[in-house]
Structure 1
Amino acid sequence: MAAIALFVHVDRPEALELARRLIDRLDADGHRIRLPPEPAAAVGRTDLACPVDGIGEKLDVAVSLGGDGSMLRAVTAVADEGVPVLGVNYGSLGYLTGTEPEDAPAAIEQFLAGDYHIEERIRLRCRLGNGTEVGALNEAIVEKVHSGRTVHLAVHIDGDYFTSYAADGLIVATPTGSTAYSLSAGGPIVAPTMGALILTPVAPHTLFDRSLVLLPSSQLVIHVQGDRPAAVAVDGRSLGELGEGGSLAVSVSDRPARLVTLGRRGFHQALKTTFGLTDR
């Protein structure tokens, strides 16, 4: 029997209802079910609650019921243990989620039968100057704190000084994250299984305003210059602020995300659907 974790968007009643049905079905089949504390309480199964920092231990699969944000939370919780994640789409974009809600029971059965593929996506290893280290599937962001004032950021690549930016911020994205904040800041769309780091400035006050697509072996360090602080966020999670001389180092993690694919909609189809592209 398998150990299965469900990550559920607690503000979506339909996702909670599906979670209840899946729990009943999987429990009846003898599988071991785990949920983070908040969704466990939301579905009335606190007996299945498991601390997030240990939920990936000896886990066979994590199932995300929500949008891309729910997928990010699931990947963050289990990627370091190499656990695959199956996404069920209750969001509006669905770049990461590969299965629609009506197909979820069959998709889980298909996974348990071994009829699936694993798609590996690179993750970021993000390290603050104080030693704090976290992983990210989409992006790391260093940005201004005060409205109307740019922040001054110096970038080093592979130990060499590259340039400084006066900007609203800098984004270091993975190919998976190229369709998130980096895209809205003018960055390129990159196939999600490529190996690359994407450095995109946000509203830079400079003639050089282009994104850089760098080798996955690149080591980036972003330093704060001057007395204007910068906020740091990783996959939407705040890591606090950096003062003058503070830094964020970003490289590719040796622990990739492992996403379950079942031969359904691919990345190109997701782009066509999201942007309303049609044959001309």
Structure 2
Amino acid sequence: MSGVLVIAHAERAEALTASTRLVDWLESEGHTVEMGRVEAAAIGRPDLGASELTGSVWDLAVSVGGDGTMLRSFDLVASAGIPVLGVNVGHLGYLTEFEPGQLTETVAAALAGALGVSERMMVSARVRRAAGEGRGDAGDHDRDPQDTEDTDVWTGLNEVVLEKRDPGHTVRLEVWLDGDVFATYAADGLIVSTPTGSTAYSLSAGGAVVAPTHSSLQVTPVAPHMLFDRSLLLPPDTEIGVRVISERPALAAVDGRSATMLHTGDEVVVTRAPYEARLVTAGGGSFHRVLKHKFGLKDR
């Protein structure tokens, strides 16, 4: 008997239908099932709603939705090393390898250990607030970058994004690499992505596509107002510091989740996360074949 966490897109009828079918099958096979309270209520099974979706009590997490549901699943279970199996009822579904028609057979194979698990690098973002009075004043631009106080820490599979808050204006971001100042960007934003995240927001901003099992961090500006507009592909253990030096604030987000507002002198330090995401995979397709299929690339 195994413990399975089912994480579904609660606003998609197809996801709820597939989740109901999966729950019925799992219980008929003697497995223990839990869900988030919202999803459990949506399928008429509030008794399955877990009070807290954290910890290492599950053997497998099944994500039924799109890539957004997958990212939420990894946010919940990656730190505990629990593998996530993605079932695609979304649109592109780059992270969700399996289809609803394969649902019970696929989960049975995963629980039996018959499917592979791909480990994916994650990023960690540590917010450092400017210390002292007068934060937000122009004088903060010359403050010692070490004069900060650590606050929140966020972890994501795809990317950390710092972007402007005010429409029609850019934000100025000073970037440090391993403690050395690299450049100051005037842009709509800046993305620090993992190889998995290279096919997400970074791709739309002109970043390179990186094989998901590669180890690296990619820094990509969004609509930069400067001559240097290239992405940087950096070693995975690089410490990337980004400090807001404009008077206008910036918004920080991790995997599409709004994290915090950043003011003048505040920093985000991005590093490789101390653990990896574990993605259940059939292992039947190479990266370039999956890429070709998901983006509809055709042979000549």
Q: Normalising by structure 2, what TM-score? A: 0.91
Matches within 5 A, 1:123-272: 123-129=122-128, 130-272=150-292
CA contact (8 A) 1:152 1:167 kept: yes
Report the CA distance shift for 1:13/1:48 in structure 2 as closer, same or farther (over 3 A).
same
Runs of 4+ in 1 over 4 A off after TM superposition: none
Larger Rg: 2
For 1:47 and 1:195, how far apart are their aligned partners in 2? 41
Q: Which amino acid aligns with 2:202?
A: S
- Per the alignment, in what secondary structure is the counterpart of residue 269 of structure 1? helix
- Alpha-carbon contact 1:155-1:162 (below 8 Å) kept: yes
CA deviation after TM superposition for structure 1 residue 254, in Å: 1.5
Determine the structure 2 residue equivalent to 1:18: 18
- Taking only aligned residues, the RMSD between alpha carbons, in angstroms, comes to 1.1
> Given residue 68 of structure 2, which amino acid in structure 1 is its aligned partner?
G
Q: What does residue range 67-82 of structure 1 map to in structure 2 within 5 Å?
A: 67-82=66-81
1:109 and 2:133 are equivalent in the alignment: no
Match of 2:38 in 1: 38
Q: Does 1:2 align with 2:22?
A: no
- Tell me the alpha carbon deviations over residues 55-104 of structure 1, each in whole angstroms, 9 at most, x when there is no partner: x4221000000000010000100000000000001111121111111011
CA distance in 2, matches of 1:165, 1:90: 38
Q: 1:202 to 1:239 in 2, by over 3 A?
A: same
Q: Name the CA distance, whole Å, in 2 between partners of 1:66 and 1:233.
A: 21
Cα distance in 1 for residues equivalent to 2:65 and 2:169: 36
Question: Are the equivalent residues in 2 in contact too, given 1:216–1:252 (CA < 8 A)?
Answer: yes
Note the C-alpha offset of 1:52.
Answer: 4.3
* Alpha-carbon distance between aligned partners in 2 of 1:102 and 1:267, rounded to the nearest angstrom: 23
Cα pair 1:199 1:211 within 8 Å, conserved: yes
Letter in structure 2 aligned against 1:6: V
> How many pairs are equivalent?
279
SS in 1 for 2:151: coil
1: distance between equivalents of 2:259 and 2:177?
22
- SS at 1:62's partner residue? strand
SS in structure 2 at match of 1:195: coil
Instruction: Determine the C-alpha separation between the residues in 1 that align with 2:191 and 2:51.
Output: 31
1:60 is matched with 59
- Structure 1 gaps of 5+ residues are none
Give the equivalent residue in structure 2 for 1:94: 93
1:98–1:264 Cα contact (<8 Å) kept: no
Q: Secondary structure at the match of 1:132?
A: strand
Q: Following TM superposition, by how much is the alpha carbon of 1:144 offset from its aligned partner in structure 2, in angstroms?
A: 0.5
Task: Summarize the Cα distance change of 1:52–1:140 in structure 2 as closer, same or farther, 3 Å threshold.
Answer: farther
TM superposition shift of 1:265 = 4.2
Residues 14 and 265 of structure 1, relative CA distance in 2, 3 Å threshold: farther
Runs of at least 5 residues in structure 2 that lack an aligned partner in the other structure: 129-149
Question: What is the one-letter code of the residue matched to 1:137?
Answer: L
Amino acid at match of 2:9: H
Contact preservation (8 Å) 1:7, 1:65: yes
Percent identity between the aligned chains? 49
| Cα distance in 1, alignment partners of residues 267 and 175 from structure 2 | 10
Which amino acid letter does the alignment assign opposite residue 71 of structure 1? M
Provide the TM-score with structure 1 as the length reference.
Answer: 0.97
Return the alpha-carbon distance in structure 1 between the equivalents of residues 5 and 199 of structure 2. 27
Q: In the TM superposition, what is the alpha-carbon distance from 1:51 to its structure 2 partner?
A: 3.3
C-alpha distance in 1, partners of 2:225/2:21?
Answer: 53
| Distance verdict in 2 for CA 1:103–1:264, change over 3 Å | farther
Per-residue CA deviation, residues 206-254 of structure 1 (Å, 9 max, x unaligned), is 1100000000010001000021100001101111210000110100011
Deviation at 1:269, TM superposition (A): 2.6
Distance 1:226 1:71 in 2: 35
* AA partner of residue 57 (structure 1): S
Matched-pair contact (CA < 8 Å) for 2:162–2:253: yes
